[in-house]
Amino acid sequence: MSRLSFPVSDLIEGPGLLAASFVLGVLLHLGYFIHGEHHMLAYRYFQALLALPVVATLALVRHGVQPVAALGLVAALTGTLLLGLFTSMAVYRGFFHPLGSFPGPLLAKYSKLWHLWIASRSVRNFEEIDKLHREYGPFVRIGPNELSIVHPDAMKVVHGSASKCSKGTWYDSTPGLTSMHSTRSRYFHDLRRRSWAKGFTAQALRDYESRVKLFTQCLTQQIAARTGQPLNVAQWFNYYSFDVMGDLAYGKSFDMLETGGGHWAIDLLNDGIYYMGTVGQAIWAVILFTHVPILNRNFRRFLAFCEKMIDDRIAMGTKSQDISTWILNSPSMAGSGYTDKAWLLGDSRLIIVAGSDTTAATLTHLFYHLVKEPAHIETLRQELAPLKGEFNFTSLQKLPFLNALINETLRLHPPVPSGTQRMTPPEGIQLGNTYIPGGVNIIIPFYTMFRAESCFERPTEFLPDRW
């Protein structure tokens, strides 16, 4: 066995090697980590952080270094390298980052971990963001490379049809699974959207009406059967919306209205929504956790359930008209990096998530305001009376007060109150007198935006007539 020709103690005690390790950490940041996106490689970096010191220690021992000395040397070098890396990151993010002039919490400059911590303590992240805007103003730095924006021009510039902004890094939160909603590729989003659009034409919606009416009748019967008893209407609206979307996505409901109870897969889904509301604030943490079996067990169980449901739906064929009919006939997504089955699985999951919890939340808040202000109930009854109980998509779409109630409910209680993330184009964007650099993650917190005096008069009041 070969031996090192110089004392290891000199290596450990001498400052040169440790200084070189520190400089290497700085260079890693300036030459590599400061460029591009790295969140998708979080697990690989974690593996390297664990494996390389072990390999280096074993290599030193193999060349005759005492194990304790080898371990000490590698630990010292690893520590100083990480110190150099994180020192460089802190200096850059704190003093030289393009977002350096924007106000916000001090810790937000350096890491999204502060946001993860805040979100883990409160399931109402949108209220925490609202507090920040009240303290810091319309532009708040909520991460090293992320802004929260409340500005009258922001909706058009960021979310408008002509917007040059793209989806932000948050949309990479489900590795191995994709959908029209989660893909960050404009090309594949547009390609997939063509199939989705066919499932939401006026004719397609009329085709679904008879099926939706059956679930609506079941809901009203269950409520009527409990007349005079305390009723958790939010729970029953959840049963209703998930049953409807299960039927439209998989050709069969979850039978929650019939049984008057929950479904284990939906419970897993709700747990996942809570998880994304906390850990999802630091997307690299999501990527890291999804690779740890004990942490992603429920996620894998839910995906297995979705896969079985979609396999059963495929076996049914396309004679039954539902949203899946059009998705099953989607063109090949070759070149996207995902199989067609992965797209189908992701889109079927999207139908459930996007159409159920959002609908249930809106119904719950709408009925809350109706009960709180009974005068609206009488006005609504008068508008509905000419229909004589024969409701359909076309007739309901023409009722101004009903739609005003829905719009005002969505304004005060947006289903996604914290907003959806976007990334600014390379040339950046201009909002009034404020320039936002390119390549920055931005969100418009809808809860705060729709209650801002700069956007609405008497913004905190429920006023359907404004529509």
SS3 of the chain: CCCCCCCHHHHHHCHHHHHHHHHHHHHHHHHHHCCCCCHHHHHHHHHHHHHHHHHHHHHHHHCCCCHHHHHHHHHHHHHHHHHHHHHHHHHHHHHHCCCCCCCCCHHHHCCCHHHHHHHHHCCCHHHHHHHHHHHHCCEEEEECCEEEECCCCHHHHHHCCCCCCEECHHHHCCCCCCCCCCCCCHHHHHHHHHHHHHCCCHHHHHHHHHHHHHHHHHHHHHHHCCCCCCCCHHHHHHHHHHHHHHHHHHCCCCCHHHHCCCCHHHHHHHHHHHHHHHHHHCHHHHHHHCCCHHHHHHHHHHHHHHHHHHHHHHHHCCCCCCHHHHHHCCCCCCCCCCCHHHHHHHHHHHHHHHHHHHHHHHHHHHHHHHHHCCHHHHHHHHHHHHHCCCCCHHHHHCCHHHHHHHHHHHHHCCCCCCCCCEECCCCCEEECCEEECCCCEEECCHHHHCCCCCCCCCCCCCCHHHC
Q: Tell me the C-alpha distance between 278 and 386, whole Å.
A: 47
Residue 111 contacts residue 144 (beta carbons within 8 Å) = yes
List C-alpha distances in Å: 424 to 146, 159, 166, 440.
10, 11, 7, 5
pLDDT at 5: 46
pLDDT at 14: 60
Q: pLDDT tens across 299-333, in order?
A: 888 888 888 888 888 888 766 778 888 888 887 78
Q: Tell me the C-alpha distance between 142 and 109, whole Å.
A: 7
pLDDT at 1: 44
pLDDT at 127: 94
Q: Tell me the C-alpha distance between 273 and 11, whole Å.
A: 50
pLDDT at 7: 56
Residue 259 contacts residue 101 (beta carbons within 8 Å) = no
Domains, the chain, with CATH or none: 8-96 (no CATH), 106-168+374-467 (no CATH), 178-372 (1.10.630.10)
pLDDT tens per residue, the chain (467 residues)? 445 544 555 555 567 889 999 999 999 999 999 999 999 999 999 999 999 999 999 998 988 889 999 999 999 999 999 999 999 999 999 999 999 999 999 999 999 999 988 888 877 899 999 999 999 999 999 999 999 999 999 999 999 989 999 999 999 988 777 888 889 999 989 988 888 888 888 888 888 888 899 999 999 999 999 998 999 999 999 999 999 999 988 888 999 999 999 899 888 888 887 778 888 889 999 888 888 888 778 888 888 888 888 888 888 876 677 888 888 888 778 788 778 888 888 888 888 888 788 999 999 999 999 999 999 999 999 999 998 878 888 888 899 999 999 999 999 999 999 999 999 999 999 999 999 999 999 999 999 999 999 899 999 999 999 99
